[in-house]
Structure 1
Amino acid sequence: MSHLGMALRRLCALSVALLWGCLASTSHRKAVAPPQDLQITDPGLLGSLDVEWKPPPNVQTVSDCTVRYKFEYRNTGDRDWKVIFTRKLKFRVGFDLSRTAEVKVQTLLEGQCTNDMEVQSDWIYATFQVPLQGKLESEVQNFHCIYHDWEYLKCTWQPGLLAPRGVHYGLYYWYEGLDRAAQCDDYIQDHGINIGCMLQNLSQAEYKDLSICVNGSAAATLLRPLYVTLRLHNLAKPSPPKHLVVSMSASEELHVAWSPPGGETPPQCLEYEVQLTEDARGTKAAWASVSTQMETALTISRANQSRISCVRVRGRTNIFCADQGFWSEWTQECFSVSRKEDKQLFILIPLILSLSSSLMVFMLIGQCKKRSPAGKPLHASVGC
């Protein structure tokens, strides 16, 4: 009985110690204050907003612990938060200004003062919304951009459904490195209305967020602006490959070789698709596809020994340089490839046709000479 009593006393002592530990931990956790004065400001950079806060009070007195912050942000409607762990008190991050920007931040404390346990404060929140003017149907439609040959960006759009006649559209853009937002200086027009823009010299914007706003103005009508954030490398479209050469070996293997397209597209960033068909004359030709990564040559076994093949190649940015991209147009070359034993036949047929034509012309001229009056020149004419 005494042993049982001692065990119970020990169990009670352990329970009391755990309870005090939990209370102490809870008390310590509540003592960690969150940051203060969380603010969001718009510097006029088309979606890049400045978020800043102040440290919690008395943080300077904590000398034996590290103070960090967990900063999260997203647009309303996004499923996930983007997370940053930092010791800074200010960040510039990108948002879609057509939706509300949401941010939150908390204090993280860790070190000797917390027995090397990370202690978190409560969250503080802030939101930001640009006052949206005009109805949604007044916003431009079918906005689409392609980064051609990694040289220039072409963006096009159509007027909004509620846009009146005489509307004027302007495209503005910004990326990290520009002091302020810039306006397009090379517009594409249709009947005097800006429906597109060509942007050059964007190499400094590659692999960065490119913020774009297309704003419209019209007399006595408010139009809603369009805000988008692009990544140029995911919009790249190269030109078709060049110098396509197709040949056949004695062992009936088809060799296909080409050169990378021109422009500024990095050759190491390209993948290719090669297509081969046995009947290019038909409108519903069956194409067989073969893909390559960066290689610019391919060997294909021709087991069916067919006489005619059409070969074409196209390229796009590969997964090592972009998450997505646009395929180039196909090369236009179409080749007739013959088996070696058939080549003499393909050479003889044009030769026989040529000799036959010459013989017919000779006989025709002879007949015309017989019919031509003496002393008059002979003219080549139909029916002599």
Structure 2
Amino acid sequence: MAHQRICVFAVILVWGCLASSSYHTSVAPPQDLQITDPGLLGSLDVEWKPPLNVQTFNECTVKYKFEYRNAGDRDWKVIFTRKLKFRVGFDLSRTAEAKVQTLLEGRCTDDVEVQSEWIHATFQVPLQGKLESEVKDFHCIYHDWEYLKCTWQPGLLAPRGVHYGLYYWYEGLDHAEQCDDYIQDHGINIGCMLQNLSQAEYKDLTICVNGSAAATLLRPLYVTVRLQNLAKPSPPEGLVVSVSGSEELRVTWSPPGGETPPQCLEYELQLAEDRGDAKAAWESVSTQMETAFTIPRANQSRVSCVRVRGRTNNFCADQGFWSEWTQECFSVSRKEDKQLFILVPVILSFSCSLIIFMLIGQCKKRSPAGKPLPSSVGC
């Protein structure tokens, strides 16, 4: 009995020592978390230093869990890393928030992950002017993957003589650059045309529109966009409608011009059906990546017009703008119209033959004296 008690006590002691050893293995959080602004319109540098006791964990791997977001966002963006510095994008119109903790795992923790406490940091650009002074109706379209056109309207509190400037930056530029091709209305900048942005595709493009006016502070606007999600192609080209041997309608077209990658396009095809006295209604019949479509024989007799438009497909972008519709149109007669079309020439041909026959008969008639009839007869 005493022997059993000793064994049980020994097992408890060993388990307690192991649990105590694992429980007391801890790691300090990182040090000196800082957020700084390098002047890149929302791309901020976040960096920290290793924890004080990191050198004591030679048999373990030290990593960091880094999370960041803008104030008001529900979710944090998470990065697991061994680095001590990151450049990440924020909306500078709201407070930037970041936090980081140390993760320790290996032989020194019996392969159990140990987490430190979090350390936090925030960053806020001093926002000048009232919110109503910020430009409104800001809108950008990436036309044909060739140029970006952004437009806006002056803020509600913007005074006369306001001067607006657009600045932009993306990874690869050494510093933020200013627009050099403004769109104006009565001498006020209300838009900008940006060329040669192919290097910014599939990257965060940060934009700032700020304004200045005498004795008035204006709120700047900060926006981060992805060019491929703003793309709008030109309408498809070369729309051709033909009838096949089986009397099916074959619709073909070509991708639009410009720099839009053909493999990044999808198309919507619509038909207008003639419904007698009712106004023809457009009906979408296909959304596809191919540039051809066949209308079955059973349906083609009701088609009065075809049109096609295109946009960037979901393999190349999260969203995009539809192009304008093609302008080409054609007419397809209904079956009864075809029968009438065939019948009318037959009637006309028969009538003309009868008239000609009668005229020839009159021409052969002679006067009683055997002389030809006067020329006024008209033969």
Alignment partner of 1:70 is 2:37: no
Where does residue 116 of structure 1 map in the other structure?
111
The answer as to 2:159 corresponding to 1:168 is no
Partner of 2:36: 41
1:300 aligns with 2:295: yes
Q: Which amino acid aligns with 2:129?
A: G
Q: Which moved more, 1:301-310 or 1:107-116?
A: 301-310
Deviation (angstroms), 1:151? 0.4
Q: 1:161 to 1:281 in 2, by over 3 A?
A: farther
1:180 equivalent to 2:175? Answer yes
Looking at structure 2, the residues matched to 336 and 94 of structure 1 have their Cα atoms a distance apart, in angstroms, of 54
Q: Is 1:86 the counterpart of 2:81 in the alignment?
A: yes
Of residues 258, 261, 264, the one that matches 2:256 is 261
Q: Tell me the alpha carbon deviations over residues 251-295 of structure 1, each in whole angstroms, 9 at most, x when there is no partner.
A: 332211000011000000001000001139989532221334321
Structure 1 residues 137 and 255 mapped into 2: Cα distance closer, same or farther (>3 Å)? same
**What is the one-letter code of the residue matched to 1:328?**
S
How big is the shift at 1:349? 6.7
Q: Which residue of 2 aligns with 1:146?
A: 141
2-structure distance, mates of 1:15, 1:291: 72
Instruction: Go from structure 1 to structure 2 and tell me whether the alpha carbon gap of 1:280 and 1:350 turns closer, same or farther (over 3 Å shift).
Output: farther
Q: Among residues 132, 136, 144, which one is paired with 1:137 in the alignment? A: 132
CA contact (8 A) 2:93 2:125 kept: yes
TM-score, normalised with respect to structure 1: 0.84
Q: 1:64 to 1:281 in 2, by over 3 A?
A: farther
Partner amino acid for 2:152? W
User: Structure 1 128/342 Cα, relative in aligned 2: closer, same or farther at 3 Å?
Assistant: same
Partner of 1:24: 21
Equivalent runs, 1:177-256 vs 2, <5 Å:
177-256=172-251
Number of positions where the alignment pairs a residue of Structure 1 with one of Structure 2: 349
Q: Tell me whether 1:315 sits opposite 2:310 in the alignment.
A: yes
- Separation (CA, whole Å) in 1 of partners of 2:300 and 2:292: 21
CA contact (8 A) 1:277 1:309 kept: yes
- Counterpart of 1:303 in 2: which secondary structure? helix
Q: Secondary structure at the match of 1:161?
A: coil
SS at the partner of 1:113? helix
**Could you say if the C-alpha distance between residues 203 and 166 of structure 1 is closer, same or farther in structure 2, counting changes exceeding 3 Å?**
same
* Residue deviations 1:317-355 (CA, integer Å, cap 9, x gap): 001000000100110111112468966865897997xxx
Give the alignment's TM-score, normalised by structure 2: 0.85
1:360 corresponding residue in structure 2: none
Partner Cα distance (2:302, 2:60) in 1: 79
Paired with 2:235 and 2:279, the residues of 1 have a C-alpha distance of 23
Counterpart in the other structure of 1:101: 96
Query: Structure 1 stretch 141-150 or stretch 11-20: which is displaced more?
Result: 11-20
Query: Which residue identity does 1:39 align to in structure 2?
Result: Q
- Distance between the aligned counterparts of 1:253 and 1:291, measured in 2? 16
Distance of 2:235 and 2:188 partners within structure 1: 32
CA-CA distance at 1:172 after TM superposition:
0.3
Contact 2:242 2:250 (C-alpha < 8 Å) held by counterparts: yes
| Partners of 2:49 and 2:84 within 8 A in 1 | yes
Change (3 A) 1:209 1:36: same
> C-alpha displacement at 1:119, in angstroms?
1.5
Mean CA deviation greater in 105-114 or 283-292: 283-292
Q: Distance in 1 between matches of 2:217 and 2:145?
A: 36
Distance in structure 2 (CA, Å) of the matches to 1:245 and 1:280 = 23
Instruction: Determine if contact 1:65/1:113 at 8 Å carries over to the other structure.
Output: yes
Moved over 4 A (4+): 8-20, 280-284, 339-352
Q: CA deviation at 1:307?
A: 5.3
C-alpha displacement of 1:11:
6.3
Aligned residues of 2:274 and 2:302 also touching (Cα < 8 A) = no
